[in-house]
Structure 1
Amino acid sequence: MSTNSNDQGRAYEYAWMTALYKKLAVVRKTCVVANSSLDANKRAWNAISQDKRELYALSADAAVDMVLGLEPLMKENQGTLFLAFQKDEAGENGDVRDIVIYREDIPWEVGLSIKHNHTAVKHSRLSHVLDFGKEWYGIPCSKQYWDDIRPIFAMLNREKELGTKWSELHDKDGDVYIPLLKAFLDEVNRAYEREPEVAIRMFEYLVGMKDYHKIVSNDSKKMTSIHTFNLHGTLGRSSREKASAFEIPDASAPMKIRSMGFCLCAIKK
């Protein structure tokens, strides 16, 4: 993700925090938690144009009532409601929520994943040092995997030292994409054969270990959409006085890996 896109994403998160606080503070005691992510998102908000601020605010305002309708405990006037931006490190541990809303008087919280002009949860990549097995599903990559990818990254490093541009590599499919993806798939299959729980662990890492509502803004279509990820059945809890506007079904996580592969036509040149 480019720096500009990252800043716009942070600014959109700030628009949502503002919209939530504006709606909730008038009906109950609400506190925005001060942390480094709040500071960073506020700087991003101040850095964008007035036109973008108005667009982002309009997008958040258009959907905030729906979120409040889905989560009645947010408006229940008991104790203090806290609104907190997640720190970036949380995503590295499988928690993809950008905003966490919670109360200290009850064991409850709800998270929002805020996406600006894209729907991806994570932008995961492979590298010569990333132990994706350990990070994604708790099993360190095997010696075979490191032996398989070492020549690929060694070649890329040599070409970099020679000043070769990525666009100048003659056979990226055969020299990079195919062997790297094959090594990746082989490693996942080896781990899955050892521990079938790799399927659910990998899914939770990529999609999210915690339940959340995903908010997606599409600027070109002037549309804000809400998607629920309710793997553990924690979303849409009723308050003492009101039920959720919609019954949010529990989602089923995959327990098996049926097949994995890749298509050459889909590989980016």
Structure 2
Amino acid sequence: MTPLSNLHGRALECLITELIIKTYPGVNLTARAKNDQVRDASKLVQLDSLLLNELTQAANALLLKWLNPQFQLSNQPSITVDRLPDQNKNDVTDICLTSRSWTVNLSLKHNHTALRHQRPGTTPKHCGFLQGSVEMQQFRQQYRVITQEFMQHIGQAKLFAELPSALIEQHLYTPVCNLVSQFINSHASTCTTQLFQYLVGDVNYYKIIVDTHARTLSIQQFAEIQMPTNLIATVNKQYVNLSFDNGWEISMRLHTASSQLKNSPSLKFDTKALNNPLTATIIPYV
């Protein structure tokens, strides 16, 4: 996730939480949510005024056109709001609302549909293997060989932008993607469910995509999803594509997480669902 994307996401979480507090007097914040609201208040002033207005309109629509009608917030004697940390194992949600009768988890996205932004070097952990396992150690060693060989081709370059894209693809992206794909395929019979739950999330939640271009909210409920039992991973240049036997198609695009080369390249996947069987509710916010 880029710094700008992180800024927009944090601002959106802050706006929605603040709006819930102002609208419903029976709302309580957890200590963590209070700290996050204080931290992110400064992010709101960093936003362009037009974008701030857009996100505010979207937050209002989410609350008034969907959250309250769907869960009757105004009729709840008390509601607790928590804001969840990033990289919370298989819980991909950002905001959790709890009343006496229900718990609602929200995963918020601003102009993108990404599931995860995981690092390729910890692929065995995403598949359910422990940090100190033999599988993890062997994978890390193979990963290190690839990145060290890549560093031998960079010459005096200090930034990725100074390198030809073909060199990066041939000596870094494709070899890393091949390593990840081979690991997943070799353990598919045992790791499919764990990897799917890591990428998609195993907590009952609603995914909210705020599209400021179309000026809409897209809402999908990630619940009661049939778990896959097998998958096939394939590679296309800097992409690892996962085909699960429950109908989900997931694409993982490898990219640099830092513009600087340093001693070892910093890499991340931008992971998104190319195809999923979930229906979406579309709500305009204009």
Residue 253 (structure 1) aligned to one of 219, 227, 240: 227
* Contact 2:106-2:206 within 8 A present in 1 as well: yes
Residue 103 (structure 2) aligned to one of 109, 112, 121: 109
* Contact 2:174-2:238 within 8 A present in 1 as well: no
Task: Give the alignment of 1:174-185 within 5 angstroms.
Answer: 174-185=170-181
Residue 220 (structure 1) aligned to one of 213, 216, 227: 213
1:134 maps to 2:96 = no
Task: Give the alignment of 1:70-89 within 5 angstroms.
Answer: 70-72=70-72, 74-78=73-77, 80-88=78-86
Q: Secondary structure at the match of 1:180?
A: helix
Change (3 A) 1:50 1:164: closer
**1:11-53: CA deviation from partner (whole Å, max 9, x where unpaired):** 111121123334433xxx2112342322222221233233322
Q: Which residue of 1 aligns with 2:140?
A: 146
Q: Secondary structure at the match of 1:226?
A: strand
Q: Secondary structure at the match of 1:131?
A: helix
Q: Give the greater-gyration-radius structure (CA).
A: 1
Q: How far apart, CA to CA, are the structure 1 residues paired with 2:104 and 2:216?
A: 23
Measured after TM superposition, the shift of residue 144 of structure 1 is 4.1
Q: How far apart, CA to CA, are the structure 1 residues paired with 2:192 and 2:238?
A: 26
Shifted more, 6-15 versus 45-54: the winner is 45-54
* Contact 2:68-2:74 within 8 A present in 1 as well: yes
* Contact 2:83-2:94 within 8 A present in 1 as well: yes
Q: How far apart, CA to CA, are the structure 2 residues paired with 1:214 and 1:179?
A: 33
Q: Secondary structure at the match of 1:137?
A: coil
Q: TM-score, normalised by structure 1?
A: 0.76
Measured after TM superposition, the shift of residue 219 of structure 1 is 1.0
Change (3 A) 1:49 1:180: closer
Q: Secondary structure at the match of 2:116?
A: coil
Measured after TM superposition, the shift of residue 214 of structure 1 is 0.9
Q: Which residue of 2 aligns with 1:238?
A: none
Task: Give the alignment of 1:160-175 within 5 angstroms.
Answer: 162-163=156-157, 165-167=159-161, 168-169=163-164, 170-175=166-171
Q: How far apart, CA to CA, are the structure 2 residues paired with 1:176 and 1:49?
A: 37
Measured after TM superposition, the shift of residue 175 of structure 1 is 1.6
1:95 maps to 2:91 = yes
Q: How far apart, CA to CA, are the structure 1 residues paired with 2:82 and 2:193?
A: 28
* Contact 1:142-1:187 within 8 A present in 2 as well: no
Q: TM-score, normalised by structure 2?
A: 0.72
Change (3 A) 1:159 1:165: farther
Measured after TM superposition, the shift of residue 173 of structure 1 is 3.0
* Contact 1:14-1:42 within 8 A present in 2 as well: yes
Unaligned residue ranges in structure 1 (runs of 5+) = 232-250
* Contact 1:215-1:225 within 8 A present in 2 as well: yes
User: Quick one: percent identity of the two aligned structures?
Assistant: 20
1:31 maps to 2:24 = no
Count of residues paired in the alignment:
234
**1:85-136: CA deviation from partner (whole Å, max 9, x where unpaired):** 1123xx2412111001113x45x4211011111111211232xxx3321244
Change (3 A) 1:155 1:50: same
Q: How far apart, CA to CA, are the structure 2 residues paired with 1:264 and 1:160?
A: 19
Residue 230 (structure 1) aligned to one of 206, 223, 233: 223
1:262 maps to 2:235 = yes
Measured after TM superposition, the shift of residue 81 of structure 1 is 0.8
Over the residues paired in the alignment, what is the CA RMSD in angstroms?
2.6
